[in-house]
């Protein structure tokens, strides 16, 4: 886990939202990214929760920019599943352009989920997860250079 990701895990929800809003969408990424769930931001539990989620549920995403899709790496053995469409559109947070990860037409299990990401540092994207239009959690994606 990079220093950038460690810093994100210490930020409050308001700080994460401000950081997301201050950045541009960046390019649609390509290739595998390590994922970190940011649950209970700004608390002492955020780092431990992120580690548990990473081990047992979600390890990241694999983007295919050419096809405008991605697959999530899930479960302890890193199964590439749960497909999303990837495109740019206005964010539900601040109406500025972001990269949308849209599961509504590609997944039975995640059809109510919409993720939004923006590039916040070299090779690091900050994301927001929505269930319908309700905010759930944040996450980070880190691409290897």
pLDDT in tens, 18-68: 999 999 999 999 999 999 999 988 887 777 888 887 777 889 999 999 999
| Rounded CA separation 116/6 (Å) | 20
Where does the chain have alpha helices with state H? 3-8, 13-22, 46-56
Mean model confidence pLDDT for the chain: 92
pLDDT computed for residue 96 by the predictor: 98
Q: Single out the residue of 19, 18, 11, 60 nearest to residue 39, CA to CA.
A: 11
Give me the domains of the chain, ranges plus CATH numbers: 3-143 (2.40.160)
Q: Band the pLDDT of 72: cuts 50, 70, 90.
A: very high
pLDDT computed for residue 68 by the predictor: 97
pLDDT in tens, 100-125: 999 999 998 899 999 999 999 999 99
User: β-strands 31-38, 134-143: how paired?
Assistant: antiparallel
pLDDT computed for residue 56 by the predictor: 72
Asked whether residue 16 carries a pLDDT value surpassing 80, the answer given is yes
pLDDT in tens, 93-103: 999 999 999 99
């Amino acid at each position: 886990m990079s220093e950038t990701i460690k810093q994100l895990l210490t930020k409050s929800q308001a700080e994460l939202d401000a950081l997301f809003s201050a950045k541009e969408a960046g390019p649609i990424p390509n290739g595998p990214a390590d994922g970190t769930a940011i649950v209970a931001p700004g608390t002492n539990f955020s780092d431990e929760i992120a580690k548990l989620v990473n081990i047992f549920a979600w390890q990241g995403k694999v983007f295919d920019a050419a096809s405008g899709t991605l697959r999530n790496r899930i479960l302890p053995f890193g199964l590439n599943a749960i497909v999303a469409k990837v495109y740019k559109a206005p964010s539900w947070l601040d109406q500025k352009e972001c990269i949308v990860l849209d599961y509504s037409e590609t997944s039975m299990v995640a059809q109510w989920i919409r993720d939004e990401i923006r590039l916040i540092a070299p090779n690091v994207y900050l994301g927001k997860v929505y269930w319908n239009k309700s905010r759930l959690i944040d996450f980070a994606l880190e691409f290897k250079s």
